[in-house]
Amino acid sequence: MFPRMRSDLFGTLLIFSLLLAFWLLISASIHWQHVLVGVIFCLILTAFWTNLTIADDAKTGFNLKQLFMLIKYFFFLGVDIIIANIGVAIIVLNPKMPISPGIIIMRCDLERSLLRALYANSITLTPGTITVELEDNLLIVHALTEDVAHGLEDWALYRRLMEVEGLYKNG
């Protein structure tokens, strides 16, 4: 029924595993009914995902080193979110409200659209910044302060995504 799932078994199993892990994380239960429903939905989503995104005789082009780099990326994103929360709290609690909001236009040299979207969403998840628009290789970002806006131009998470993309290009 879904021949592309068999042709890219590693990609199919990876997507299924990630979806199931997310399901178990948000359901917060390992009761057999939760697991069964999760497995059923993850199988359906994986089947449709594979048919929509994988071309004939193509592979996902994702390896375990990239997976570990992305896990590390999400860890550091969590740390940056906590630090940004503290920074925004300090600004909000300051009676003088030292804000200098503005919009910055940034170039994003990531070639894969999935990584560009991940980067744009990471900016939005970080308190004090919102990605207003992502079009081709340009990001329009609203920042709460000028320092935060200029910090985005050399953000460590952007460099990490460039490394992930470099692994994709090199094999």
At 81-110, the pLDDT tens digits run 999 999 999 988 988 878 888 899 999 888
126 and 76 in a common domain: yes
74 and 142 in a common domain: yes
Q: Is residue 58 part of a domain?
A: no
Nearest to 56 by CA among 131, 14, 94, 3: 3
142 and 74 in a common domain: yes
101 and 76 in a common domain: yes
Supply the pLDDT for residue 61.
Answer: 62
* Count of the separate structural domains present in the chain: 2
Q: What is the CATH classification number for the domain harbouring 100?
A: 3.30.70
In which domain, by residue range, is 28 found? Answer: 3-53
